[in-house]
Amino acid sequence: MNIFLLLGCGGGSDSSKPKRYARVPKKVLSEAEKAKYITPTIYHIADYSSLNVSQCSDKTEISLRKSKDNFVKVPVCRKAFKGCALQGSCYIQVDGQKTMINYHKKVNGVVQFMLVDRSVCKHGLGDSSDKKQNFKAMCLDPFYSVAADTDIYPLGTVVYIPSVRGTAIPDGSVHDGYFVVRDTGGGIDGRGRFDFFTGDVSLNASNPFSNLGLGGESNFDYFIVSGSEAQSVRERRAFPLLK
């Protein structure tokens, strides 16, 4: 049974707006430049599980949907509400337990979240469908997956960024420079527009991608990989699941 968390975000019409509303990069490229250089941002799993709701001056509620007519109200700090909507995946307290939730969709002005089955996708869920294909599950792969405009880069597209190759990442390995499109999001539009997923590592000094300038400070060249090379990368990363 799927379980959804519904976050009330005010009024509005039905919308299938894809998940997350990413920060706007610092530099806006021309259309010619977008064909050569990335416009990057970083997103991660925000952790609000330690926030004490009783100490928050600004609070709201999450409605936990267990079945069609069974809802439980979960109080949260508005900071957590906004952060979960921004990042797409986050941790909150549910029944006293640190719990990962993931953006699902928006209906009648209400943002729906679902619980993440971490036995399948340990680091949260990406987008499982685009106009060309559907997947039963799409797992986010920290430091190796990106969100992109899937009208241009369908799920499974492989992107090579030479400047990332050789970067040491938190699991102790060295990055090979290849990424797989596993996600999309609000504000992720156009060519070269990639949002880099870094799992539990937020946008701070310990994030190697932040140090590279992938938080929006720099624009690197990129290449779309196809054929057997792309298939080899997808197999290496166990797309659409995880290794």
- Go through 139-169 and write b for each residue having 16 or more CB atoms within 10 A of its CB, e for each that does not: bbbbbbbbbbbbeebebbbbbbbebbeebeb
* Residue range 81-135, pLDDT digits in tens: 889 888 989 999 988 899 998 887 777 887 778 888 999 999 999 999 999 999 9
Mean pLDDT, range 202-227, rounded to an integer: 92
pLDDT at residue number 234 = 98
CA distance 97 to 117: 14
pLDDT at residue number 205 = 83
Cα torsion 87, 89, 93, 98: sign: negative
pLDDT at residue number 85 = 84
Q: Would you list the domain boundaries of the chain?
A: 4-236
CA distance 126 to 182: 5
DSSP strands (E only) in the chain: 4-8, 39-43, 46-47, 59-67, 70-77, 89-94, 97-107, 110-115, 145-147, 158-160, 178-183, 193-197, 223-225
CA distance 59 to 50: 15
**Mean pLDDT for the chain overall:** 86
Does residue 59 have a pLDDT over 60?
yes
Does residue 64 have a pLDDT over 70?
no
* Residue range 158-167, pLDDT digits in tens: 999 999 999 9
Of 25, 22, 27, which Cα lies nearest the Cα of 43?
22
- Go through 181-190 and write b for each residue having 16 or more CB atoms within 10 A of its CB, e for each that does not: bbbbbbbbee
For the chain, count helices (H), then strands (E): 4, 13
Q: Band of the pLDDT at 66, cuts 50, 70, 90?
A: low
Strand partners for 229: none
pLDDT at residue number 8 = 34
pTM of the model: 0.86
